[in-house]
Every structure is written in C-alpha cells, then in structure tokens.
Amino acid sequence: MSTIKVTDESFSDDVLNADKPVLVDFWAEWCGPCKAIAPALEDIAQTLGDRVKVVKINIDDNPSTPSTYNVKGIPMLMLFKDGEVTATKMGALPPQKLTEWVQDALD
C-alpha cells in the first residue's frame, strides 16, 4: 500500500472513521522538510500497511482540517486511532527515527 491523498471533504471518512490507525502527514508543496520525509512515509505505508494507513493532506489546498487540529507548522504528523489523535510529531526525522516513532505510537 502507498500513501493516500485526502482532502477536507474526505478526512472524516478516510481518517476519523477508518478501521485501523491512520498516520496523517500535514504538508505543502513548498515545504522542503515535507518532501524530505515523503520517501520514508512511502516506506512506512509499504512495510506497516497492514497495521496503519498513511495519508497526506496538503494544507494549502485543504485549510479547514489543519485549522481544526491546530497545525501551526509542517511537516506535522498525527496518528489517529478510533477518530482521536493519539500521537503527534512536528518536523522532519531521519527515516529510521520516523519508523521507530510510528511503531512505538502503534503499540
């Protein structure tokens, strides 16, 4: 499985009502660190796809959802379980650290 693009309109169905945990990447096209972590997020989607769904929401195209979740900087990662935020991480991490954070947040 690879990362999935979501919008303000699809966020509720794709994230809040998902049947497994969802890692949400709040990002923007102009954000260098966002682009830097994109390959690591793809890897996580591939390797942990049975445990977590990885989605991306562009904050410029979809301003409502970041506002709802008080996103002040990007990249901002939020892990949702049963429609609730259970973990957050702001900023870019090296791929191994990002994977470790996701695995710890899932346990």
Interval 16-41: pLDDT, tens:
999 999 999 999 999 999 999 999 99
What is the average pLDDT score of the chain? 96
Angle made by CA atoms 27, 15, 50, in degrees to the nearest 5: 95
**H/E stretch holding 57:** strand 53-58
Annotated catalytic residue: which of 24, 31, 76, 98? 31
Q: Residue 96: what pLDDT?
A: 96
Domains of the chain are 4-99 (3.40.30.10)
pLDDT at 1 over 90: no
Annotated catalytic residue: which of 34, 48, 74, 105? 34
Whether 16 is a known active-site residue: answer: no
Whether 31 is a known active-site residue: answer: yes
